[in-house]
Structure 1
Amino acid sequence: MTNIENVDVESIGADATMLDVREDYEWEAGHIDGALHIPMNDLPERLEELDPDEDVFVICRSGGRSFRVAQWLVANGYSAMNVSGGMGAWLEAGKPMVSENGQEPTVK
């Protein structure tokens, strides 16, 4: 199995390409502004939305789904890293978030 790099939220630069693989309801509650949202199960048919020559930081709620997605992306020739702790860690670190529902951004 391919070794996947796990990265801490504090080490991710502001210009990083973020891929959020959570479900729609999770995304709407709170996400990283500028992140690309492709739910995990939709990724195979939406793969062309990613640049294989660009580092992609994959994030979910806690790090499990994003780890599997990062493995799959690397196996398919992409440069992907898993964000340790997911959006929970992002929120705890006080990193900026936005919501789609007009409420205070949160992680579901």
Structure 2
Amino acid sequence: MPELPTITPAQLDQLPGPDWMLLDVRTDAEWADGRIEGSVHIPLDQLIARVDEVSDKVVCICAVGGRSAQATAYLNSIGRDAVNLEGGIQGWIAASRPLTT
């Protein structure tokens, strides 16, 4: 099995171009508590049904990285260019990055 591509919060700033989608796969309640500015919310359990809403280049985000790793693996398996945000929202907060509500 190939290694899952990951990106750190600091590397997120260096993604080339505006065509990268930030996909938050957490639950509705987690999303309501705070999210990364500009991210799109599709809970993991809805991802397959709503995959047509996901762009070709995507950064997957969850709370700590587990669910987003599943989303990343799935999206890569269907031909998308997907990377997992290392540490998820908790890693984002630990890197002193802001959340919006």
* TM-score, normalising length: structure 2: 0.89
CA–CA distance in 2 between the matches of 1:68 and 1:47? 14
Identical-residue share of aligned pairs (%): 34
- Which residues of 2 match residues 74-93 of structure 1 at below 5 A? 74-93=76-95
Deviation at 1:3, TM superposition (A): 2.9
Unaligned runs of 5+ in 1: 100-108
The equivalent residue for 2:37 is: 33
Q: Does 1:48 align with 2:52?
A: yes
The equivalent residue for 1:106 is: none
Deviation at 1:7, TM superposition (A): 1.1
Residue type of the alignment partner of 1:12:
L
Answer whether contact 2:25 2:43 (CA < 8 A) is retained.
yes
Residue type of the alignment partner of 1:18:
L
Moved over 4 A (4+): none
Answer whether contact 1:22 1:60 (CA < 8 A) is retained.
yes
Unaligned runs of 5+ in 2: none
**How much is the aligned-residue C-alpha RMSD, in angstroms?**
1.4
CA–CA distance in 2 between the matches of 1:65 and 1:2? 17
Larger Rg: 1
The equivalent residue for 1:11 is: 11
